[in-house]
């Protein structure tokens, strides 16, 4: 029987991604209303006229669509092909927590070193999840 517990972190990360996606139009509309930018500045993405504070949610959203794809895949691999261990489920939650903290830092005070540490730690957890899945699959 497949263990759905490995999928709960997947839903949590997808939820975080959705929240950041909702933040993008809020920040953009606010900037247009404040006359910090014009609507045309978003015609081809973001022009050079778009302030950094308006760019950051979009960049964070892109971050949540890049490497986390590998997280989604490894969790599905655990669910479909190998029974996830409690350690794998715990690491999946750790990954989500680290990505959430990364987003909080990125979207608030945006300290590069703090972001880097969280990003690197989450990637280390992701590598461990892949190694665990691969070794369990080979057995």
- Mean pLDDT calculated for residue range 75-83: 94
* Residue that wins the pLDDT comparison between 62 and 45: 62
pLDDT at 112 over 90: yes
- CB atoms < 10 A from the CB of 14, how many? 14
Torsion, Cα 74 75 79 82, to 10 degrees, reads 40
Q: Which residue has the tokens 């990360």?
A: 13
Q: What is the mean pLDDT of the chain?
A: 95
Give whole-number Cα distances, 30 to 36, 55, 124, in Å. 9, 13, 37
The reported pLDDT for the residue numbered 66 is 96
Distance CA 93, CA 30 (A): 33
Fold of 4-138: 1.20.120
């Amino acid at each position: 029987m497949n263990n759905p517990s490995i999928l709960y972190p997947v839903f949590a990360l997808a939820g975080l991604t959705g929240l950041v996606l909702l933040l993008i139009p809020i920040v953009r509309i606010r900037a247009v209303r404040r006359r910090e930018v014009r609507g045309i500045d978003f015609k081809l993405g973001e022009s050079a006229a778009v302030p950094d504070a308006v760019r950051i949610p979009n960049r964070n959203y892109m971050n949540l669509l890049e490497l986390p794809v590998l997280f989604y895949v490894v969790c599905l691999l655990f669910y479909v092909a190998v029974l996830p261990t409690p350690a794998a489920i715990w690491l999946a939650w750790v990954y989500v927590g680290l990505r959430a903290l990364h987003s909080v830092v990125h979207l608030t005070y945006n300290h590069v070193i703090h972001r880097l540490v969280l990003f690197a730690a989450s990637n280390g957890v992701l590598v461990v999840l892949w190694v665990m899945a691969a070794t369990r699959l080979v057995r």
